[in-house]
């Protein structure tokens, strides 16, 4: 979604009030947890639903990829 809107991490941080590091972890898919406030801020900015931001991958599938 950031790419579609040509937004940089700093742009998302500025518009949502979220910390740049939080956005970087999500962008790089290295975040291990996420706060409800973060989800709310991103859904607000992108005018989307939670399912548009995240995809559930069962832990078995993650282990198979490694």
User: Which tens digits make up the pLDDT trace of 39-66?
Assistant: 999 999 999 999 999 888 888 765 565 5
Predicted TM-score of the model (pTM): 0.81
How confident is the prediction for the chain on average, in pLDDT?
A: 91
The structural domains of the chain, with segments of one domain joined by +, span: 9-65
Contacts of 45 (CB under 8 A, 6+ apart): 12, 15, 16
The CATH code of the domain at 9-65 is 1.10.260
Enumerate long-range contacts of 41-46, CB under 8 Å, 24 or more apart: 41/16, 41/17, 42/12, 42/16, 42/18, 44/16, 45/12, 45/15, 45/16, 46/1, 46/5
């Amino acid at each position: 979604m950031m790419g579609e809107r040509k937004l940089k991490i700093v742009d998302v941080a500025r518009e949502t009030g979220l910390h740049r590091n939080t956005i970087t972890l999500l962008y790089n898919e290295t975040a291990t947890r996420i706060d409800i406030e973060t989800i709310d801020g991103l859904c607000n900015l992108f005018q989307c639903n939670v399912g548009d931001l995240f995809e559930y991958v069962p832990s078995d599938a993650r282990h198979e990829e490694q």
